[in-house]
Amino acid sequence: MVEETFVAPNPREAFELAKEKYGHFSELTLLKAIQIKNDEGKLVSQITVSVSSSDFLDSIGYDEEEELAKEIDVLKEQINTMKQLVSPRDTVEGQPVIDAVKAVMLQRGLSETWLDEVLEEVSQSAVADDEQLLLSYIMDEVDERLLVKPEVLSEQKIMMLIGSTGVGKTTTVAKLAARYALLLEKPLKVALVNLDTFRVGAYEQLEHYAGQMQLAHIKVERVEAFAEVLRELKGYDVVLIDTAGISPYDTGKLIKTIEFLKNTGEHKIETSLVLSATAKREDIIDIYEHFSFLDIESAILTKFDETKRVGELFGFLIEKQIPVSYISGGQHVPDDLTVATKQRLMDRFVGDLYE
């Protein structure tokens, strides 16, 4: 079911607006009616109704199959563009096609191990002798194996952000909080939890954002108090947890983060690794190996606006099969964060190829 609000000078007029939009549907349930102040400070009536998801989509003219077909068409067009634009400028005359194409992709950051696996499948076919066909084949494989994680908000979401120092975790927490609490059609009840007891000003930075958005913000300093705080936040739709930035050699902070994760009680926590799109492959691998035993479920890419070269990052994500959940670029809260889509990721990878 989908909940939607209507505002009018009085409850009757508000309900008439709901009936005007949904009256021809069989399922229209009034959930609540309250008085609120509008932007001019005047009291008005706000009602909330519940309708089925299919009726809501029908009311806005959304055809799921049609939209899916459009997405597929866009993706096909994107892949075709890649096939046409990738040129043989990096190949060497007289070099076997398969070696030349492999060299191009290695320069763009894809791992040699993964490329060898992919190329082995076509090494004895006619595809291996045609540069454009082979490039096209690799592009299709990149598109298929680069994963995204859908945004699911149908049950309580507890998300812990982990990552190295300076990657932008705290700002990303604020952007996610703004998305959930302010930007969705149905605003969610959001709480922020701060586990960063190391960095000076870490709590104050997130407290500033929490105050602006009027969100609950709790600082947890004792490991044994963590599970209790999560229990107290049971009524919240989303709980976002900020952690200390950790370098690959900072074992003290890492051990503290592990202790927190071991004291979550019955609560399921989604762990997201925050990665900078500007990081070099060697640094990305060090960061991943440092955090990999924490059961990473997704990656959030920050500083996406600061580089056009994402091949090394994408190569790593493909190799480790880590789905991307969100993309962030810029410092503006909440504007500079979006749900990750295959199209946007592939658009950037195509740009990398012919830079």
Question: What is the domain partition of the chain in residue ranges?
Answer: 2-59, 66-145, 157-353
Q: Are strands 190-194 and 2-8 parallel, antiparallel or unpaired?
A: unpaired
Instruction: Give pLDDT, residue 175.
Output: 92
For all residues of the chain together, what is the average pLDDT? 81
Which pLDDT band holds residue 90 (cuts at 50, 70, 90)?
A: very low
pLDDT > 70: what percent of the chain? Answer: 75
Q: Comparing 120 with 354, which gets the higher pLDDT? A: 120
Q: Where are the beta strands (DSSP E) in 29-153?
A: 29-37, 43-51
Instruction: Give pLDDT, residue 163.
Output: 87
Which pLDDT band holds residue 91 (cuts at 50, 70, 90)?
A: very low
Q: Comparing 235 with 247, which gets the higher pLDDT? A: 235
Largest Cα span, the chain = 80
Q: How many helical (H) and strand (E) elements, i.e. helices and strands, does the chain have?
A: 13, 11
Q: Does CATH number 3.30.1360 belong to domain 2-59?
A: no
Q: Find the helix or strand (DSSP H, E) in which 46 lies.
A: strand 43-51
Of 53-67, 171-185, 246-260, 277-291, give the lowest mean pLDDT range.
53-67
Per residue in 23-33, pLDDT (tens digit) is 654 466 777 77
Cα angle value 306/311/316 (rounded, 5°): 110
Q: For the beta carbon of residue 184, count every other beta carbon within 10 angstroms.
A: 12
Instruction: Answer whether residue 42 shows pLDDT above 90.
Output: no
Of 53-62, 267-276, 313-322, give the lowest mean pLDDT range.
53-62
Mean pLDDT of 258-262: 71
Instruction: Answer whether residue 58 shows pLDDT above 60.
Output: yes
Instruction: Give pLDDT, residue 347.
Output: 84
- The letter for the amino acid at 62 is Y
Which pLDDT band holds residue 274 (cuts at 50, 70, 90)?
A: very high
Regarding the domain with residue range 157-353, which homologous superfamily does it belong to in the CATH classification?
Answer: P-loop containing nucleotide triphosphate hydrolases (3.40.50.300)
Report which of 300, 303, 239, 305 is spatially closest to residue 267, judged by C-alpha positions: 239
Fill in the DSSP letter of residue 308: S
Which pLDDT band holds residue 89 (cuts at 50, 70, 90)?
A: very low
Instruction: Answer whether residue 327 shows pLDDT above 70.
Output: yes
Tokens describing residue 3 = 């909940």
Per residue in 177-231, pLDDT (tens digit) is 999 998 888 889 999 999 866 665 667 888 888 898 999 999 988 888 888 899 9
Q: Comparing 316 with 110, which gets the higher pLDDT? A: 316
User: DSSP string of 240-257?
Assistant: EEE-----TT-HHHHHHH
Instruction: Give pLDDT, residue 247.
Output: 65
